[in-house]
Homo-oligomer: A and B are copies of this chain.
């Protein structure tokens, strides 16, 4: 198994955490997003979508972290990371979909580090050539903002508020050590990279036991897992 990934990308962190929970060996190859290696000819041959992470298993490429994790759980079912109950499984998929939809809020914080500085050093022509390769209009605009017109405090506040709504929803969902069905699994894994960044920079106080006791205990248990240490959620800054 080969994993093309970026150490700090939230989607890459998800897949690494899933692989580590499964105890699977993989050949991790870093794609440097700040150098746009995801849009290089070589990488586009591997993954025409030009995104990380992407894995190659049995000679076949697969992208999209949520899909990759479900695939890993189907092909390597031990330990199981999805609920067996069809309804809980549906709730798990809807939760991951909801978290996926929050990525725009996370990017506003994440791209201020490293990527923005590198883009700021580009000439206008270099910068335009770079974002011309970004397929998503939303991501193009996020690049432009990060590099050329940094998000205002009001915009960051709004993004932070959206992420806190996620924490509030979690506080109402957690039972035992999991978001879905009372067991740790792919829903928790999908959410961990978001909570890591909230803890690190965006709103650490929101994770205190007095603010959200269930989320605080969930996060403490998650970060204590051996797989979490191996998955490398290293500091951004």
**Chain A residues close to B by CB (< 8 Å):** 58, 60, 62-64, 66-68, 70-71, 74-75, 86-87, 89-91, 93-94, 97
B97 and A74 contact, CB distance less than 8 A: no
Instruction: State A67–B74 Cα separation when bound (angstroms).
Output: 17
Contacts of A64 in B (CB 8 A): 93-94, 97
**Set B60, B67, B86, B91: member contacting A93, Cβ < 8 A:** B67
Residue contact B93 to A63, C-beta cutoff 8 Å: no
How far is B87's CA from A64's CA once the two chains are assembled, in angstroms?
13
Closest to A104 in B: B137
Contact B60 A87, beta carbon cutoff 8 Å: yes
- Chain B residues within 8 Å of A68, by CB: 90
Question: 5 smallest A-B Cβ distances: which pairs?
Answer: A74-B86, A71-B90, A67-B93, A67-B90, A64-B94
Let me know if B75 and A86 touch, CB within 8 A: yes
Contacts of A66 in B (CB 8 A): 93
Report chain B residues within 8 Å CB of A89. Answer: 70-71, 74
- In angstroms, Cα B60 to Cα A93, docked, is 16
A66 to B94, CA, bound (A): 9
CA of A131 to CA of B49 in the docked complex: distance in angstroms?
34
- Of listed A63, A66, A90, A94, residue having the most chain B CB within 10 A: A90
CB distance from A155 to the nearest CB of B (A): 12
Query: Roughly how many angstroms separate A89 CA and B71 CA in the complex, as a whole number?
Result: 8
With A62-B91, A71-B89, A75-B86 known, 6 other A-B pairs at CB within 8 A are A58-B87, A62-B87, A63-B94, A67-B90, A71-B86, A74-B86
Contacts A/B (CB < 8 Å), 7 sampled? A62-B87, A62-B91, A62-B94, A63-B94, A64-B94, A64-B97, A70-B90
In the complex, are the beta carbons of B87 and A71 less than 8 A apart?
A: yes
Report the Cα distance A89→B93, complex, angstroms: 14
- The reply to whether A94 and B74 contact each other, CB–CB distance below 8 Å, is no
Given the known A-B contacts A67-B97, A97-B67, are A62 and B90 also in contact in the complex, defined by CB atoms under 8 Å? yes
Residues of B within 8 A of A70 (CB): 89-90, 93
Tell me the complex Cα distance, A66–B100, Å.
Answer: 15
Q: Which residues of B sit under 8 angstroms from A94, Cβ to Cβ? A: 62-64, 67
Q: Which residues on B sit within 8 Å (CB–CB) of A74? A: 86, 89
